C-alpha cells in the first residue's frame, strides 16, 4: 500500500473536541461523518461506506460490519481503529491479507464497564427497580434483597475488564472465582482468586459476570442447562456480548423464578432482529436492570477511548506501530 491519505473519518457519536484537536495537531484532516438518514453505524452497507470514507486513510469506528468486500471497496483505508475492545464485526483475516491494520482501544473502557457491573450487581441484588416501580404504584412495602458484601462472585473470562472488576470486588470482601483458559499466577496472588471450571462457577456463584469474547465456542455458553445449575438467588450480569447468553432461556429462567435477576447491557437482538420480542420482554421485567450497550459510555470512558483510537490512527498513517496492546491485526 502506498502512503495512506492523511484523513480520518469518525462514524461514532460522542467524539470529543480533545480527540479532534489531537488529530488535527498531527496534521490529520478529521471528518465527523453524518450517517445516512435512518441508519445506524451497524446498518451501513458498502455503498454507504464508500461515500463516507472516500479518500480516508483511517476510520474510527464502533459497530459497523467490516467485511472483506467492504475492505476491498476501500483501497485507501490503512487502519480500522475500533473505539472499543470487541472486533468480531471486522473480518480480521481479510484485513491481514489486504495489508490493513485493525486496532482496539485497549484499556480505555475497563473502569467504566467494571463500574457498571458493580452497579448492576447491587441494583439487581437489592431489587431497586422492583421497589421503585412498586413505590410509583403506591406500594411502599419493603422488598428484602441480598448483599454483594462477602458473596461468591464468578467471573467468566479474565481480561482487562475482568481484572478491573476483581479490584472493585475486593472492597466488598467478595470471594472471587474465575473461569478462564489462562489465569496468571500474579492475578491469583493480587486478587485472591480461585480458578474454577464452568460448572463450579455456575453452581457456587451468587453473582456471575460475563467477560468472555463471543466465539463459536462461547455462543450460548449460558443456556437452559446452565440456568438449571445456578443458585435460585443468583444474579447474572452480561456486559460483554449478546449471544453469550441464550436470551430465550434467560427469559424462561426469570419467568420461572429459577434465578433472582439479571443485569444486561447487551442482547442477542443487536445482531438478530428476530430476537427483538425477547429483548423487549426482558427489559420490561422488574428483575432485570437494563442498559442499551452503554457500559463504556461515560464522559471519561469515551474521552479515553476516543484518544486511544486517535493515537492508533495517527501512528499507522505515519507508518509507525500503534501501541502493542491495541493491535489486533497488522497486515503491513
252-289 tens-digit pLDDT? 999 999 999 999 999 999 989 999 999 999 999 999 99
- Taking only the tens place, the pLDDT of each residue in 168-177 is 999 999 999 9
Note whether 92 and 65 are within 8 A (CB). no
Same domain, 310 and 322: yes
Q: Is 241 a catalytic residue?
A: yes
Q: Is 100 a catalytic residue?
A: no
DSSP secondary structure letters along 259-314: SSEEEES--GGGT-GGGHHHHHHHHTSTTEEE-SS-TT-SHHHHHHHHHHHHHHHH
Same domain, 23 and 129: no
Res 86: pLDDT: 84
Q: What is the DSSP letter of 222?
A: B
Same domain, 14 and 133: no
- Pairing of β 207-210 and β 194-195: unpaired
CATH of the domain at 192: 3.40.50.720
> Domain tally for the chain?
2
pLDDT at 1 over 90: no
Exactly one of 63, 82, 100, 241 is catalytic; which is it? 241
Same domain, 94 and 205: no
Domain membership flag for residue 116:
yes
Q: Is 82 a catalytic residue?
A: no
pTM for the structure as a whole: 0.90
Domain that holds residue 102: 7-108+298-330
Domain membership flag for residue 143:
yes
Q: Positive or negative CA dihedral for 223, 226, 231, 236? A: negative
Exactly one of 29, 31, 175, 270 is catalytic; which is it? 270
Exactly one of 126, 129, 258, 293 is catalytic; which is it? 293
Amino acid at each position: 500500500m502506498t502512503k495512506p491519505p492523511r484523513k480520518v473519518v469518525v462514524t461514532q457519536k460522542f467524539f470529543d473536541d480533545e480527540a479532534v484537536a489531537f488529530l488535527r495537531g498531527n496534521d490529520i484532516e478529521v471528518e465527523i461523518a453524518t450517517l445516512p438518514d435512518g441508519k445506524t453505524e451497524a446498518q451501513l452497507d458498502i455503498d454507504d461506506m464508500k461515500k463516507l470514507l472516500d479518500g480516508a486513510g483511517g476510520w474510527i469506528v464502533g459497530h459497523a460490519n467490516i467485511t472483506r468486500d467492504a475492505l476491498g471497496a476501500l483501497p485507501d483505508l490503512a487502519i480500522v481503529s475500533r473505539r472499543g475492545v470487541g472486533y468480531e464485526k471486522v473480518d480480521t483475516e481479510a484485513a491481514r491479507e489486504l495489508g490493513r491494520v485493525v486496532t482496539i482501544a485497549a484499556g480505555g473502557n475497563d473502569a467504566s464497564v467494571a463500574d457498571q457491573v458493580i452497579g448492576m450487581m447491587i441494583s439487581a441484588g437489592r431489587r431497586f427497580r422492583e421497589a421503585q416501580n412498586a413505590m410509583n404504584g403506591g406500594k411502599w412495602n419493603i422488598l428484602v434483597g441480598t448483599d454483594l458484601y462477602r458473596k461468591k462472585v464468578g467471573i467468566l473470562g479474565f481480561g482487562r475488564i475482568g481484572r478491573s472488576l476483581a479490584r472493585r470486588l475486593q472492597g466488598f470482601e467478595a470471594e472471587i472465582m474465575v473461569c478462564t483458559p489462562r489465569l496468571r499466577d500474579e492475578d491469583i496472588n493480587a486478587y485472591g482468586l480461585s480458578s474454577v471450571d464452568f460448572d463450579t462457577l455456575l453452581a457456587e456463584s451468587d453473582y456471575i459476570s460475563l467477560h468472555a469474547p463471543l466465539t463459536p465456542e462461547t455462543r450460548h455458553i449460558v443456556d437452559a442447562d446452565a440456568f438449571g445449575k445456578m443458585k435460585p438467588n443468583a444474579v447474572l450480569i452480561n456486559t460483554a456480548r449478546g449471544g453469550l447468553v441464550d436470551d430465550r432461556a434467560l427469559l424462561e429462567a426469570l419467568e420461572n423464578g429459577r434465578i433472582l435477576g439479571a443485569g444486561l447491557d447487551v442482547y442477542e437482538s443487536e445482531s438478530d432482529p428476530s430476537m427483538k420480542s425477547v429483548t423487549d420482554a426482558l427489559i420490561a421485567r422488574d428483575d432485570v436492570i437494563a442498559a442499551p450497550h452503554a457500559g463504556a459510555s461515560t464522559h471519561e470512558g469515551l474521552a479515553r477511548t476516543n484518544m486511544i483510537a486517535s493515537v492508533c490512527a495517527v501512528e499507522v498513517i505515519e507508518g509507525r506501530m500503534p501501541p502493542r496492546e491495541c493491535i489486533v491485526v497488522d497486515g503491513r
